[in-house]
Structure 1
């Protein structure tokens, strides 16, 4: 199968984040088995989602991980001009949910697998495919924890998020939480007898947004845009009807932190503001939604130098979006971002990748194999 055919198969699996992924895992496992590649499936604690790990070459040598996620964001936008889970070709563009983020990279790695298998590699190349990356990287920590039983300590991990095949050495860290305020319901004609959770949350959000704006005062890291940490309130929910005092309100908040700043530490002032509402008779809740560390890899590192040689492009210092790379680095494995496509096309209707971008990525992976076989 060529890379376009493989991509068509992968996109046909509607692996929306948070949903079971057994079908795509079974298909990839079967593909790897047919190529004579050692492959294992690792169910997560959810029970209906799994990570997948495959090794080409010797298991007892130190090699490289090609890392990608199998899940995609939902595709419910009305602006799609074709079925998002059926690959559509128009000229040099291939359309479908996940074409860029990031089933295109998975397809390139799988398309390269048969040739890699013939190279008599001296060092291994591992495929590490995860689940629920779009929910804040929930799946890959379980796979990283299992690595000592699966392979020798890797020399590095290439995370194939869309970067225009330009290596990326750094990204911000992120943490997201859900705040909950619980008051007391009643008839809206007697607000004095209730505790309005929406009113309490709105005041809290006003203070939290002001705090978030203060993050623009630094610390700064000029490689990023914006060059400072940030905070956003992304979702608010509360109330049943206009004539009922709302007894519950929730708000989802995220922070993105520049290197050197802990994302969780940025949320401590938010938590203090939330807990203060208890003094006014409200109950409160704090639920962590997701968190991952930032990535910071030296441009003179062996891994960065290798990717420059493989891609023919100088590395990009930093991006503001997040990936699983920081989790690999946190585990003591050098990691870098490099994959086909453009992040600006991700999470949008009519997401696409170009055939030339897939070809460049597959070539890079096969060139890596050639180096490890030399």
Structure 2
């Protein structure tokens, strides 16, 4: 029988972290079925079994605060849906590196300790906290910082969930590091639970299943949180554009010339994201079919639903001795996994992993590495 709790560390205490922390608190007090959570148990773990043991950020206004207080500090845009009691976890300074390059430097002032910290300091903190899973919520474009946390996680023997589009699961050197250290890795670029990419790829698969030819499509996204503020800088959004196109390519279309957000920062939207989606297709006798959809979601809770899966998968993978990229689940949880799949096949493999993990007498070995 495994330890009942999942000891989780967070890197980047912004809107997504806020919603995820709130969701874990709600899960502890809710009944057996919680809206937006696909499985009450994964590998024997409930979402409420998450226990936060470490937190890292560079914002001088968040460092030193209890995690419960830090998740509400501006410029975090996530709404407070659930009162979060004090956790006893103080936010630590993390390595600055390229974390605040671009627009974010205008909004966030780093703690003075951050400039001198390295991945080795993160490794030491993870070991001290006895963390089992590290979730990386750093800003898009922070390639050096994200990869520093990934290396620190591998060296500490802590499973890593890369919610960012910066390459970790897609970088051979880092994958080999996780394999050599015997640690699970999940990534890259977390999907929203029911977001623009999930809806877009599902619709494309539906049209193709009917034998229709997709001629043109676009996906335009605007929002008002710090993610969109950061991505308004073209030098920071490149990896996100690549990630979204990879997801569309996995859905079976040529995405080289497809416009697929993010496309603008609209402050008054706050943590809401609005997607404008159009698909043009051709049916029998060349007949045209087109659709336009406006999707509006609260952005950060939409991500928290997926992290609720990813963290429990990461802990379950470690329990089962899986190392490196956990291939069966990544195409469903992430936009840019090492090998993408159509939506329905990604869901089937994810569900199969969860079902096999629910049988304690039969360990899942499909992604095990020697």
TM-score by length of 2: 0.26
Larger Rg: 1
Which structure has the highest helix share of the two?
2
Which structure has the highest strand share of the two?
1
Higher relative contact order (CA 8 A, sep 6+): 1
